[in-house]
Structure 1
Amino acid sequence: MKFNRLYIGLLFGAAALSSCSDDDATPSIDTPTTYSFTRDGATSVSFSGQTTRIAMAEELISALEDETKSKEALLAMFAHEEGAEDFSDADLNASSKSIRSKTAASNDFFSSNVTDATAIKSLFDTWIGDQHDEVFSRWNEQASAGVAGQLADGTSTRYVSANGLEYNQMVAKSLIGALMTDQALNNYLSPAVLDAATNREDNDADVVAEGESYTTMEHKWDEAYGYLYGASQDPTNPNATLGDDSFLNKYIAKVDGNTNYTGIADDIFNAFKLGRAAIAAKDYTVRDEQAEIIKENVSKVIAVRAVHYLQAGKAALANQEFGSAFHDLSEGFGFVYSLQFTRKPNTDASYFTKAEVDAFIDSILANDNSLWNASSTTLDEVSSKISDAFGLVLTEAAE
Structure 2
Amino acid sequence: MKKQFLVSSMLVMFAMVSFTSCKKDSEDVIPPYTVPDTYNFTGANYTSSTNRVKMMLELDVYMKSATTVKLDGSKTTNMFNNTNNPFANAALNSSGIKLADKTTDASQFKGYIDLLVSNSQSNDVLASKGNFGYLMRSATSKIIVGADGYEYGQVALKGMMGSLFFKQAMDILSAVPADATVALQEQHWDEAFGYLAVPADYSPDKDYTVAPLNALVFPEKPALWGGYLAERGKNITAGKIIWEAFRKGRAAIAVKDIKVRDQAITDIQMIWEKLAANAAYAYMNIPQQSANVGNFGTQFHALSEAHGFIETLKYRVKAKSKLSDADYNTMWNIITTNDAYTLVGETGFTKLKQIATILKTTYSLPE
Q: TM-score, normalization: structure 1?
A: 0.75
Alignment check: 8 A CA contact 1:339 1:350 kept? no
Q: Distance in 1 between matches of 2:115 and 2:158?
A: 16
Aligned ranges 1:12-91 → 2 under 5 Å: 25-38=29-42, 44-66=43-65, 67-81=69-83, 84-91=84-91
1:241/1:85 CA distance change after superposition, 3 Å: farther
- Identical columns (%): 29
Q: Distance in 1 between matches of 2:322 and 2:87?
A: 34
Q: Distance in 2 between matches of 1:103 and 1:289?
A: 27
Q: Distance in 2 between matches of 1:314 and 1:337?
A: 21
How far is 1:27 from its partner?
A: 2.8
How far is 1:68 from its partner?
A: 3.7
Q: Distance in 1 between matches of 2:290 and 2:150?
A: 15
Q: Distance in 2 between matches of 1:325 and 1:132?
A: 21
Among candidates 219, 230, 235, match of residue 253 of structure 1: 230
State the SS of the aligned residue for 1:253: helix
Alignment check: 8 A CA contact 1:158 1:166 kept? yes
1:352/1:73 CA distance change after superposition, 3 Å: farther
Aligned ranges 1:121-140 → 2 under 5 Å: 121-133=106-118, 135-140=119-124
Q: Deviations over 1:219-260 (max 9, x none)?
A: 11011111113xx4x4233544555344211111113333xx
How far is 1:267 from its partner?
A: 1.1
How far is 1:22 from its partner?
A: 7.7
Q: Deviations over 1:307-344 (max 9, x none)?
A: 10011023369721111000011011111111111235
One-letter amino acid of the structure 1 residue matched with residue 82 of structure 2: H
How far is 1:75 from its partner?
A: 1.8
Match of residue 351 from structure 1: 323
Q: Deviations over 1:276-332 (max 9, x none)?
A: 010011111110111101111111100001010011023369721111000011011
Match of residue 379 from structure 1: 352
Match of residue 15 from structure 2: none
Q: Distance in 2 between matches of 1:366 and 1:321?
A: 22
**Does 2:134 align with 1:150?**
yes
Aligned ranges 1:1-399 → 2 under 5 Å: 25-38=29-42, 44-66=43-65, 67-81=69-83, 84-104=84-104, 120-133=105-118, 135-154=119-138, 155-185=140-170, 187-190=171-174, 192=175, 194-195=176-177, 200=179, 202-203=181-182, 215-229=183-197, 232=198, 234-239=199-204, 240=206, 242=208, 243=213, 244-258=221-235, 261=236, 263-315=237-289, 319-343=293-317, 347=319, 351-353=323-325, 357=328, 359-367=330-338, 370-374=339-343, 375=346, 376-393=349-366, 396=367
1:241/1:100 CA distance change after superposition, 3 Å: farther
Q: Distance in 2 between matches of 1:132 and 1:33?
A: 43
Q: Deviations over 1:46-77 (max 9, x none)?
A: 10111100010011112223334321221221
1:339/1:352 CA distance change after superposition, 3 Å: farther
Match of residue 212 from structure 1: none
Alignment check: 8 A CA contact 2:71 2:121 kept? no
Q: Distance in 1 between matches of 2:234 and 2:267?
A: 19
1:143/1:68 CA distance change after superposition, 3 Å: closer
Q: Deviations over 1:71-119 (max 9, x none)?
A: 12212211224xx211111111112111111112xxxxxxxxxxxxxxx
- What stretches of structure 2 of length at least 5 have no aligned partner? 1-20, 214-220
How many residues are aligned here?
Answer: 327
How far is 1:384 from its partner?
A: 1.0
State the SS of the aligned residue for 1:159: strand
Match of residue 115 from structure 1: none
Q: TM-score, normalization: structure 2?
A: 0.82
One-letter amino acid of the structure 2 residue matched with residue 200 of structure 1: D
Q: Distance in 2 between matches of 1:317 and 1:362?
A: 27
Q: Distance in 1 between matches of 2:144 and 2:224?
A: 20
Alignment check: 8 A CA contact 1:340 1:352 kept? no
- What stretches of structure 1 of length at least 5 have no aligned partner? 1-16, 39-43, 105-119, 204-214
One-letter amino acid of the structure 2 residue matched with residue 360 of structure 1: M
One-letter amino acid of the structure 1 residue matched with residue 201 of structure 2: T
1:201/1:364 CA distance change after superposition, 3 Å: closer
How far is 1:175 from its partner?
A: 1.2
State the SS of the aligned residue for 1:138: coil
What's the RMSD between the two structures over aligned residues?
Answer: 2.6
